[in-house]
Amino acid sequence: MDMHELIRQMERAERIWPDDRPWAIQILAGYLHVSPAELLSLFRQINPTLESERDQVLPEDLRLLRAHCERILEKHSSESLEDKRKEQAKARKTIQTLLPKISELMASKDNVRALNTYIYMLGETGEVATPEEKAQWYEEMGRLSLKVKRHPNEAARYFRSAVNALSLLEDAEGIQDLLETYDEEFQGEEARKSWELVVATGKESLAKLTYSI
């Protein structure tokens, strides 16, 4: 049962329902497009004396029920917002925990674990990471992929993501630098094909930023 739609149906029913005419819950349920059992359950939340779907209610009862349903929605919305805040705080804490670990792994030249930790961190925190963070992380992931000799497609995929993040930042110079820095790292026919996708993404982004390469 979609509560938003139910409230809209209640508003429609209120407009056509004479104030002095009682309706059985099972009849009203038909107008509201919900099952009589569901509607009875909702009505019992504001009037526990109702016992069956054949019990009658008045328009005022429906107005009270609509107000009750609106309060339920507001509560759920508030709880959802609080849950989202908690998730964001947890994600930021994950970033604060993992970034020093990645630095340690890179300092000890454990590049495979550093790359895998980046991948994990983005999967856990990508929704709260800023474009600046994503641009930096994706470029570093591309660089690490080259170092550990992952497939060129993987490195190119990370560099394309870095370009997209830089584009959001309107950082034309950053895009240009990235394309120039890693161009020679992609040698061989297959690698060049992967890199050309990065170049194409970069050129498209730069064109949008009215920047010419």
Q: How far apart are CA 142 and CA 129, in angstroms?
A: 18
Q: Provide the token pair at 6.
A: 């139910």
Q: Which of 55-59, 71-75, 162-166 has the highest mean pLDDT?
A: 162-166
Q: How far apart are CA 127 and CA 136, in angstroms?
A: 15
Average pLDDT, the chain: 90
Burial, 32: exposed, middle or buried (Cβ in 10 Å; 0-12, 13-18, 19+)? buried
16 residue type, one letter: I
177 residue type, one letter: D
145 residue type, one letter: S
Burial, 150: exposed, middle or buried (Cβ in 10 Å; 0-12, 13-18, 19+)? middle
Per-residue pLDDT tens over the stretch 162-213: 999 999 999 999 999 999 999 999 999 999 999 999 999 999 999 988 644 4
User: What pTM was estimated for this model as a whole?
Assistant: 0.63
Per-residue pLDDT tens over the stretch 37-54: 999 999 888 888 888 988
* SS3 (DSSP) at 49: coil
Q: What is the pLDDT of residue 165?
A: 94
Backbone angles phi, psi at 129, to 5 degrees: -65, 140
